[in-house]
Structure formats: structure tokens, C-alpha cells
Structure 1
Amino acid sequence: MPTTPRTVSDVIRARYDALTRAEKRLAESLLENYPVSGLGSITAVAESAGVSTPTVARMVQKLGYKGYPEFQANLRSELEETLSNPIAKHDRWTASAPNAHVLNRFADAIMANMRQTLSDLDPQSFDEVAALLSDRKRSVHFVGGRITGALAEYFFTHMQVIRPNTMLMSSGARTWPQYVLNMNAGDLLVVFDIRRYETEMIKLAEMTKSRGGTIILFTDQWNSPVAKFAHHIFRIQIEAPSAWDSSVVTLFVVEALIEAVQSTTWDETRERMKTLEGLFQQTRLFRKPNE
């Protein structure tokens, strides 16, 4: 199965080193407020970047597009994808759905998502995030949106066992200033934000960065606006033949990070687990085999 097409931002980043100085300035301008920054006229885009219109025309062709109209068409298509609501997604998938059983269609989509995500994921960045999460001197805050809040809670529940100073932030933005108030420089904020990006997340990221916090973002292939404040970004393929986006690959990356942190700090984690098991026995939370 072919991999998911790359976004325009992927193409820009992949070919950035081959661009001229003026083209690099244009590329940086386009990525600054992506994808909206590329939706104006060629003259407006050139003026915004401080380059000439021929520079814009040359760069889009160097990126592999036939011309500026095709370049913009790709940007508009991406913008439509990020704004897709569940009904629109369902209708789009249904119109092109193959006759294969839904299990096969889902399996094919998820495996394609996994392959593309892993091909784009930088192992060094993954290791750096695992090291940050293992650092007991840093507190870790987790937050997600209406759907991704479940992923944030799942991550938090495991990390709470592995290490101290972990907090799950509520989905209500009214409580966020109190959490930010107690963040110190270097503390971590783990954000889950996928398309139909939640407007309040970017304000939380901005406040956290202003306090010296380090932001780890889990997002989709189109990139949440939170990315402009994030220090580490996991861009994960989420498309599925459904009205809903898939969380399978996101959960895979989360569980891999949990294992990486757990292995790095196993001696301390094991002692915490022993203590926790004793507490479970006191509360009789779990049923014993002979009961």
C-alpha cells in the first residue's frame, strides 16, 4: 500500500538545505504561520517574506510543483483536511470505500499509518524525550482535548507509577493558570492536540513556554498550531476509513515511551511498584485468585 502523501511543510523541510538564501527566508516565512501563510496571492506571499515574486515562483517549482496554483491547491487541501468534521470524514471515506471487510480496510489503513509514522520519527528525538521524562528533577504535566484527553490520562496513569511529580491537567482551560503558576523552568508539558485543533491549547503552550517550560507535542501529520511553541513534536498519521481519526499509532508511540522511561529508571520504578502493590492489597482493589 502506498504511504500517505507528504504535506507541503514536509517537502519544504526535506529540501530546505538545497534552497538559496532568499528561498530559505521564504520557506521560513511560509512555515511560520503554516498553512495560512501560503494562501495569499503570490505578490502578498513575496512581500510578507521580503523576497521577489520570481523567487516564490522558482521555489515552488524547486519543491516539485508545476507552479504557484498547484502549490496553493495542495495547501488548501491540507487546510480542508485539518478542519474536517466527523460527518464529512465519513462521507468522504464511504464514497471511495472498497468492498473489503471493514476489518481489512482498518488494518490496511493502520499499518500504512504505522509505516509512515515510523519512517518520519527521529529515534534521537524519541530518546531525548524519554530522557526528559526520566528526569526526576522535572515535573510532568499531561493535557489533552475532548478526544485526546483519554490518551493524556492513559500516559499519566502509567507515568504516575514510574515516577513522582506527575500531574493530569483537566480539560477545562479555567484551571490551567494554577498549573502554570507552579511550573518551574525545565518542567514538562505533554500536549495531545490533533486536527480540529482546540483553540485554547495554543494559549496554554504560550504560557508554559513563557515560564521556561519544555513542551512535548503529540499531533497529526498536518501539525497543531501548538507546534510553534513545542520543543519536541511527534507527528503521527491518524487517517482511518471512519468518521473518526485513529489513535492506534499515537498509543503505540506513548507505550514505547512508557517502556523506555521504565527501563531507564527500573530500580526506582520497581520499588515504587512494590509499594503500590502493598497499597492495593490494603484497599483490596483487586480480587485474589482464591477469593
Structure 2
Amino acid sequence: MDAEPSPAATGVRGRITSASLRPSERRVALCLLADYPAAALSTAGELARTARVSTQTVIRFVRALGFASFADLQDALREELRAGLGPLSKLRSRSIGETADLAGFARVIGDRAIHGFERIPATGIEAAVDLLTDQRGQLLTVGGRFSTVLARHLATNLQALRAGVRLLDDPPGASLPDVVDLGARDVVVVFDVQRYQPAMSRLAATAAGKQASVLVITDEPGSPAADHAAVRLAVDVAAPSALDTLAGGLLLVEYLVARVLDRLGESAQQRLQVWESARSADFS
């Protein structure tokens, strides 16, 4: 028997190139390579539907690459991603180049954000709005080191539209009572983009374990926190720079806030009036 190739030595792309595949398995390979690696980071069934083959064909494809299971293939893909996620690893491959002027830079980011939004199913957006407007319990937002700005922006806006909204700015510390007191009617919105933080996954797991509804806003291939989510929305964070962008995430937050305002209608408008009256002394 031929020696099994090492994932670290060849990578999944290398395995696909060297593997002997049946025609139906090549369809899976082409599907994966066309949207690499995101196509294989959901479920085997989803990859099968996209490639228009059976789930069993996907399993045969995985084994033809030398992996024991679909989960092992996903682990190898995630390891490839982790190996090249940091800003230093992107310095050579990402340069603003011809997008050095502000308008060009914004155009590239805007186009990528729109492309990412087009992949979000309408059912996902509606489910997210349902959670954000459910006022039977508390709504808590939390983000990682990079994405906490999105959690804060969502909380700040929603506090003016509905009651019971708080930012978890220190889940293991000052915000721990909010985590401990989570219940089945509460909603937790978790923001976590590369590099994914284990603390976000642990928090999502804790919230789900307490029967709270978890909404995860992430990027591709997706935060491990999404494993515990009732609803998952993904945005594009790539930018023509060594540093990723939160522009797409910010646009998504703004859109969700606008949808919440529309959904809550008069009750949100009345709260806004009270909110503005209370703050009127702070403005000239």
C-alpha cells in the first residue's frame, strides 16, 4: 500500500491533485476547489448537495484523499487556515497596490462585503431579526478582541430600541453574573472572526447549555462558537491589506438594527423618544 501523504507536507490541495478519483468524486473535488476551503467546512451533506452527488460519494472522496472521516478532512483544512491567518503571514500576499486611493480601497472592500452578503440566506436574516426582537428575556452581546467593537455597536443601538440589552465586556469577570444568570428566554449574540478565540466558543456552549438562543456572527470558515448557534451569519473580512476589515460586519449590524426598528415599530419609536428626552441635556 502506498504511504499515506502527510497533510502538513502536501495540504488538502496536494492530496486532491495526487489522488485517483472516480468521475463522481472529481465533481466533489472541483466543488471544493472552486470555493476552497469553505465548501467543505459545513457538513458532508451540504457539500454533497452543492456538488450534486450523494453523501456516500463525498465519504468515498474523503477516503480517497487518505482521511479516515469527513471530520478529519475538516481538521486538516482548519489547520491550513490557522497556519496562515496572522497579519504577518499576509504582508506578502496582500498589498493595497492600485487600491491605494481611498475610493479604490473602499470599492474593493464594498464589493467583497456585498459578495459575502449574497451568500447569507434570507431565512438566516429573518431568524436573526426574530431573536433580536424577542423581548421575553435579556439580549446580551459579546465579541472577541477584534470583533468586540461590533458587539458594542449592536448593543449601543439596540439599547435605544428595546429593553434588556447589555454588552458582556468581561464575561469571565465583571460580566460573569450575566452569564451565570442566563435562562431559556435569553438571547446571546456572539461576534467571533479569525483568529477565533476559544473563550467565545466556551461562552456560546455555556449559553446553549442554559437553553438560551445563540446568534453567532462570524466569517468563513466560521468560528467554533457556531457549533452552538441557533442562527449563524457569516461576513467577508478580507481586505487589500495585511489587516482584515470589519466593514462588512458593521454593515450587517447596521442592517439588523434597521430591521429591528422596523419590526418593533411604535414601541421602538416611543422608546427612542424617551431615550432622546433623557439625553437632551447632554447636547446643545
State the match for 2:83 in structure 1. Answer: 80
Q: Contact 1:219 / 1:236 at 8 angstroms: preserved in 2?
A: yes
Larger mean CA deviation between 157-166 and 106-115 belongs to 106-115
Of the three residues 283, 286, 290, the one matched with 2:283 is 286
Partner of residue 65, structure 1: none
Q: Once the two structures are superposed, what CA deviation does each residue of 1:228-251 show, in whole Å capped at 9, x if it has no partner?
A: 111111111110122321111111
Q: Aligned equivalents of 1:188 and 1:176: distance in 2?
A: 15
1:51-110 deviations in whole A, cap 9, x for unaligned? xxxxx9xxxxxxxxxxx9xx99976643434xx22233233313xx53453425422421
Change (3 A) 1:198 1:161: same
Structure 1 partner of 2:56: 22
Residue equivalent to 1:217: 216
**Mapping for residues 1-291 of structure 1, pairs under 5 Å:** 6-10=35-39, 15-17=47-49, 18-23=52-57, 26=59, 42-43=65-66, 45-46=67-68, 48=69, 77-81=80-84, 84-94=85-95, 97-281=96-280, 284-287=281-284
CA distance, structure 2, for counterparts of residue 241 and residue 172 of structure 1: 33
Structure 2 residue runs of 5 or longer lacking an equivalent are 1-33
Q: Offset of 1:198 from its aligned partner?
A: 1.3
Cα deviation digits, residues 122-161 of structure 1 (max 9, x gap): 1121012112211111311000111211111110001011
User: What amino acid is the match of 1:101?
Assistant: A
Is 1:188–1:214's contact at 8 Å kept on the other side of the alignment?
yes
Deviation per CA, 1:152-210: give whole Å up to 9, x if none.
11100010111001111014533454222211113111011000111211111111110
1-side partners of 2:132 and 2:88: how far apart?
Answer: 37
Whichever residue aligns with residue 91 of structure 2, its letter is H
Match of 2:10 in 1: none
Q: Structure 1: how far apart are the matches of 2:151 and 2:247?
A: 14
Q: Secondary structure at the match of 2:110?
A: helix
SS at match of 1:93: coil
Preserved contact between residue 239 and residue 245 of structure 2 (Cα < 8 Å)? yes
SS of residue in 2 equivalent to 1:183: coil
Tell me the distance in 2 between the aligned counterparts of 1:75 and 1:197.
Answer: 11
Label 1:256 to 1:15 Cα distance change in 2 as closer, same or farther (>3 A). same
CA–CA distance in structure 1, aligned partners of residues 230 and 162 of structure 2:
22
Change (3 A) 1:175 1:21: same
State which drifts further: 126-135 or 168-177. Answer: 168-177
1:100–1:128 distance in 2 versus 1, CA, 3 Å: closer
Conserved 8 A contact 1:141-1:188? yes
Figure out how many residues of one structure are paired with residues of the other and give that number. 246
Percent of aligned pairs sharing the same letter = 22
CA RMSD of aligned residues (A): 3.1
3-state DSSP of counterpart to 2:227: helix
Q: Which amino acid aligns with 1:213?
A: A
CA shift in 2, pair 1:280/1:182, >3 Å: same
Counterparts in 2 of 1:41 and 1:203: CA distance versus 1, 3 Å = farther
Equivalent pair of 1:7/1:78 in contact (CA under 8 Å): no
CA pair 89-104 structure 1, distance change in 2 beyond 3 A: farther
Secondary structure of the 2:190 match is strand
Amino acid at match of 1:232: V
Return the offset for 1:219.
Answer: 0.7
Q: Secondary structure at the match of 1:203?
A: helix
Deviation at 1:253, TM superposition (A): 0.9
On the 8 A contact 1:180/1:211 being kept in 2, the answer is no
